Amino acid sequence: MKNIKVLMLAVAGVFALGFSSCVNDLETTPIDPNVQLPQDVLKDEAAFEALLAKCYQGLACSSSDGANGGPDINGVDGGFGQYLRAYFNLQCLTTDEAVCCWNDTGLPDMHNMNWQASNQFIVAMYYRIFYQVSLCNELIRQVNANPAGVKFENKGALIAEARALRALSYYHAIDMFGNVPFSTENDAVGAQGPRQISRADLFEWVEKECKELIEGNDLAAEGTNVYGRCDKGFVKMILAKLYLNAVVYVGEDRYADCAAICEDLVGTYKLHDNFADLFAADNDRLAVGTEEIIFAVPHDGINTTSYGGTNFLIFAGTGGDMNSSEAGISSGWGGLSVTKQVSERYTDGDARAMFFTAYGTEIPDREVFTSGGYKSVKFRNVNHDGSAAQSTGFVDTDFPLFRVADAHLMLAECAARGAADNAKGLASLNAVRERAGVATLTSYTAQDVLDERSRELMWEGCRRSDLIRFGQFTTADYLWEYKGAVKEGAAVADHRNLFPLPPADVNANSNLKQNAGY
């Protein structure tokens, strides 16, 4: 951590200039005249590795100082502004998967689906995405510049991993914001107002990046990189998800392309036999080699601490009459519940139905955690064998960003849509169901896959995108509690399928045009 902090102080000012229209809001720490400059710090390959570590750390923590340090982005709370927590708020809290009883300004609006353009939780996700992009851009820029003339052994790998991480954040930008500011390492530092790229053009750019990384030799082959670092399996998952949602993003049917990638992935990675193990404190053992977790964002109760990520999911999902020690934590925050539409989707004997049920399925009063609603106990800070994790104040549980179970279900969906072999799709769907302990099927529909994705991937950041792809996010075709700020649920305007760009950024950059409806 200390090495990363020194390096970041040396180059943070350059990061801030990478997206100059965001400077007034982003306000990343400028270069400290008392700290060495990049050419003085980046003197060996280990220093560049530490700089790359910051690109990874940005997914797990709000700052290089951990949970209690000053966040990388001033003006955005270091807790809810952490990347994965912000991602959860936009991808899960806006759906049937999560309801939060807290009354932070703008938070109830997320589940109500009546957010405003200046909503602080949306702003947090936006700036986290583009902070990550700027970190990766600068890593690539510094490696190529090589100010101290370092003799690299793994120059290509450093750049490839930064490109892969950047592709992830740009994929999230495509999915959540559509037409966004765009910059790469080739854009001049300090250039005023990055141009706005269309959703279709950014889709094409990320697709090209992913293909180059997959076909090239610089990124580790799938299942071969070290724990916590991305490889070609990581990139294939990004590309598969692009293709799965291509009808939404660019109006093109790319299900066959998605299926081809997923067939490759399900042939490489294996489903773990115990579902609960995937969300235990020692799930890092399932995020190496060809185990089920293709890529996990590491969390460590001692060394990698955060008020976001799995720490948020476990603490905010625990409270009231729940036993905190069973969750492996000191005490819960009592915030998150699921709607009855989710809790009633599981059948008896389903190993994935991991809930505290004492308060019933109804949520009559969202302002009180104990007033109702099932509480998810899917994520826990306890090892798979029941032994204690190393800390109860922060969790050890990694966040499984990509799992091969998702690839199985993507393949099944593509087959249901006529873009893949039906027998292979059915086999993949049944592999997931069999692991969960529920009956296998002899036939299925695309809706069956959507329901299976809900059961399998709850709180893993897929639900909003899935509902949009099936035309059920904004419409009255599917309603859940408090959708549209109505207890019984109601349709909302279709412009809610995208989130707004922060007004401050639009005002600061004349190149940016706000999304329709905002």
Residue 127 sits at φ, ψ, to 5 deg, of -70, -30
The share of the chain scoring above pLDDT 70, in percent, equals 92
The share of the chain scoring above pLDDT 90, in percent, equals 85
Mean pLDDT, the chain, rounded, equals 92
What is the enclosing helix (H) or strand (E) of 296? strand 293-297
pLDDT band at 189 (very low <50, low <70, confident <90, very high): confident
pLDDT mean over 431-437: 98
Q: What is the C-alpha separation between 57 and 115, in angstroms, rounded?
A: 29
Tokens in use for 515? 């999304």
pLDDT mean over 407-421: 98
Q: What is the C-alpha separation between 311 and 303, in angstroms, rounded?
A: 13
pLDDT band at 79 (very low <50, low <70, confident <90, very high): confident
pLDDT band at 78 (very low <50, low <70, confident <90, very high): confident
pLDDT band at 28 (very low <50, low <70, confident <90, very high): very low
Neighbours of 186 (CB within 10 A): 9
User: Which of 88-97, 163-172, 191-200, 401-410 shows the lowest per-residue confidence on average (mean pLDDT)?
Assistant: 191-200
pLDDT mean over 261-285: 98
pLDDT value of residue 26 = 30
pLDDT mean over 477-495: 97
pLDDT mean over 295-320: 95
pLDDT band at 23 (very low <50, low <70, confident <90, very high): very low
User: Which of 3-12, 187-196, 205-214, 231-240 shows the lowest per-residue confidence on average (mean pLDDT)?
Assistant: 3-12
pLDDT at residue 518 tops 50: yes
pLDDT at residue 1 tops 60: no
What predicted TM-score, i.e. pTM, was given to this entire model? 0.94
**Given 3-state DSSP classes, what are the helix, strand and coil percentages for the chain, each rounded to the nearest 5?**
45, 5, 45
pLDDT value of residue 68 = 63
Q: What is the C-alpha separation between 138 and 159, in angstroms, rounded?
A: 10
Residue the block writes with tokens 């899935």: 466
pLDDT at residue 405 tops 50: yes
pLDDT value of residue 459 = 98
pLDDT band at 87 (very low <50, low <70, confident <90, very high): very high
Q: Residues 384-391: contacts with CB within 8 Å, 24+ apart?
A: 384/274, 384/276, 384/277, 384/280, 384/281, 384/282, 384/283, 388/328, 389/281, 389/282, 389/301, 389/328, 390/301, 390/302, 391/301, 391/302
pLDDT band at 65 (very low <50, low <70, confident <90, very high): confident
pLDDT mean over 196-219: 98
pLDDT value of residue 36 = 58
pLDDT at residue 22 tops 50: no
pLDDT band at 74 (very low <50, low <70, confident <90, very high): confident
pLDDT value of residue 13 = 37
Q: Domain map of the chain by residue range?
A: 1-197+490-518
Q: What is the C-alpha separation between 185 and 433, in angstroms, rounded?
A: 44
Q: What is the C-alpha separation between 396 and 280, in angstroms, rounded?
A: 8
pLDDT at residue 14 tops 70: no
pLDDT at residue 30 tops 70: no
How deeply is 376 buried, as exposed, middle or buried, from its count of CB atoms within 10 A (0-12, 13-18, 19+)?
buried
CA atoms within 13 A on the CB side of 482: 27
pLDDT mean over 268-287: 98
**Residues 308-331: pLDDT tens digits?**
999 999 999 999 999 999 999 999
Residues 6+ apart with CB under 8 A from 192: 20, 21
Residue the block writes with tokens 């936006």: 126
pLDDT mean over 129-155: 95
pLDDT at residue 168 tops 80: yes
Fold for domain 1-197+490-518? 1.25.40
Tokens in use for 164? 């892969």
pLDDT at residue 259 tops 80: yes
**Residues 97-136: pLDDT tens digits?**
999 999 999 999 999 999 999 999 999 999 999 999 999 9
**DSSP calls for 349-362:** T-TT--EE-TT-S-
**Residues 454-467: pLDDT tens digits?**
999 999 999 999 99
pLDDT band at 389 (very low <50, low <70, confident <90, very high): very high
User: How far is CA 212 from its chain centroid?
Assistant: 23
DSSP summary character for residue 517: T
pLDDT at residue 483 tops 60: yes
pLDDT at residue 190 tops 70: no
